[in-house]
Amino acid sequence: MKLAYKAYDELGHATAGVVDAGDVVTASEILRRKGLYVAEITAQAVSSPRESRPRRHWLGGGQRCKNIAMFSRQLCVLVSSGTQLVDALAAVERQTRPGPWREIIAGVRGRLEQGASLSEAMEGYPEYFDPIYRSLVTAGESSGHLLEMFDRLAELKRKQLRVRNSITGALIYPCMLVTVGLTIFAMLLIFVVPRFSALFATLDVPLPASTQALVHISAGFRQYWWLVLLLATGGIVSVATYLRGPKGRAFRDAAVLRMPCVGRVARSFATARIVRLLGLLVQAHIPILEALRLVKDSAGNLRYRELIAKAEDYVSRGEPMSLAFSDTKLISPSIHEAIRSGEDSGEIDRLLLNVSTFLDEENEVVIRSLTSIIEPVILIFMGVLVGLISICMFMPLFDLTAMTQGGG
């Protein structure tokens, strides 16, 4: 039977966990052999890992990344102060507000108390702790440098969160401008154009072709708005479904890389992510083949997955990894040269991390520059659209005024 216990070690640190024994006396003897001074043992059944797993809750990617970054930093601070890992997890759990993330931490702590290692306890929550995170934790546990690994993981998650926030922040204002522009255009078609069309019908004046087209569009939109909404929704759902499939994903990934301006930014972000993760895994003394496999699984773009698979094939045959990164369509020549130099000097992990830091700084500058360009372009487009509608509506009135003055 499984018995829950509370005890103290030789240094006086409190610890808690679960011991498998036939009775309380046997459990106390087992704990004393481990150098623990038993304070309390309760015959309390403990649920299995499957039963202790919390309900699945949806958390956004940004919130997940933020929680894991804070989680890694808190564990680093607590473990560095001499706190036992189980007690550190319990402290982090107490500091976390009730919700899905607190249940995740409680589940990890429960599995750890049942004798599993930290990486094994995290395997039950792959949507929160990805294979790279678990591999680095495993490397830290096996090498005895778990504290250092927590520090690296916290830094990794902070960088990923900063990249995500920079992209999200750059897209918020342009998306708001597009939404406001579409809303204004729809309101003009629904409320403004019909008033002018009624005025034109009363005046019985000939309408220019552009004005007639706008009046017909407004009438069709007001009469068949439900059909327009249905077609728009169906189109969006169909495109989203296609892009999630294998063919659609391959088309999307290739198209993004070929787009002007956007393609260059996408290649830079993908390269920064790959070299950062690869450098961190190699620095943790994870075998290069396993590191490439983990990075390949976390690469978002299929073209880069194929590139890393090619590098994995080269390394398995005993050839330099840098040969696979010579594709200038995906990797810039300077990055390829840095990887080759790192292989020759035996400091590939340091060079990869330096390259990722440089790319992150460059990407932030590019994102700010693109944002400063996109915003005025959207404003100019909105102004031109509203101006064209205004000209189409007022042109018949100008013609009527000219005809009246000419007749007078």
One domain for residues 36 and 93 = no
One domain for residues 125 and 79 = yes
- The pLDDT of residue 46 is 40
Is residue 383, in this structure, part of any structural domain at all? no
One domain for residues 72 and 115 = yes
For residue 8, list its beta bridge partners: 14, 37
Sequence-distant (6+) residues with CB within 8 A of 94 are: none
One domain for residues 99 and 123 = yes
Mean per-residue pLDDT of the chain: 79
The total number of structural domains in the chain stands at 2
| CA distance readout (Å), 70 to 57, 77, 190 | 19, 11, 49
By the 8 A CB rule, do 32 and 38 touch?
yes
One domain for residues 123 and 68 = yes
pLDDT band at 109 (very low <50, low <70, confident <90, very high): confident
Whole-number Å distance between alpha carbons of 348 and 326? 16
Residue 111: CATH number of its domain = 1.20.81.30
Where is the domain boundary, 102, 129, 156? 129
Is residue 70, in this structure, part of any structural domain at all? yes
One domain for residues 25 and 79 = no
Give the lowest-confidence range in 15-19, 103-107, 199-203. 15-19
Tokens of 349: 């992990």
As a whole number of Å, the CA-based R_g of the chain is 31
- The pLDDT of residue 56 is 47
Where is the domain boundary, 129, 150, 178? 129
Average pLDDT over residues 334-357: 82
Handedness of CA 222, 224, 230, 234 (dihedral sign): negative
By the 8 A CB rule, do 303 and 254 touch?
yes
Is residue 273, in this structure, part of any structural domain at all? no
One domain for residues 33 and 73 = no
Residue 92: domain span:
61-129
One domain for residues 76 and 41 = no
- The pLDDT of residue 110 is 85
Does residue 40 sit in helix, strand or coil?
Answer: strand
Is residue 240, in this structure, part of any structural domain at all? no
Tokens of 345: 């000097």
| CA distance readout (Å), 2 to 21, 48, 202 | 6, 11, 89
Where is the domain boundary, 129, 158, 180? 129
**By CB neighbour count within 10 A (0-12 exposed, 13-18 middle, 19+ buried), where does 90 fall?**
buried
**By CB neighbour count within 10 A (0-12 exposed, 13-18 middle, 19+ buried), where does 401 fall?**
exposed
pLDDT tens, position by position, 367-378: 778 777 887 888
Whole-number Å distance between alpha carbons of 25 and 268? 62
Is residue 38, in this structure, part of any structural domain at all? yes
Is residue 367, in this structure, part of any structural domain at all? no
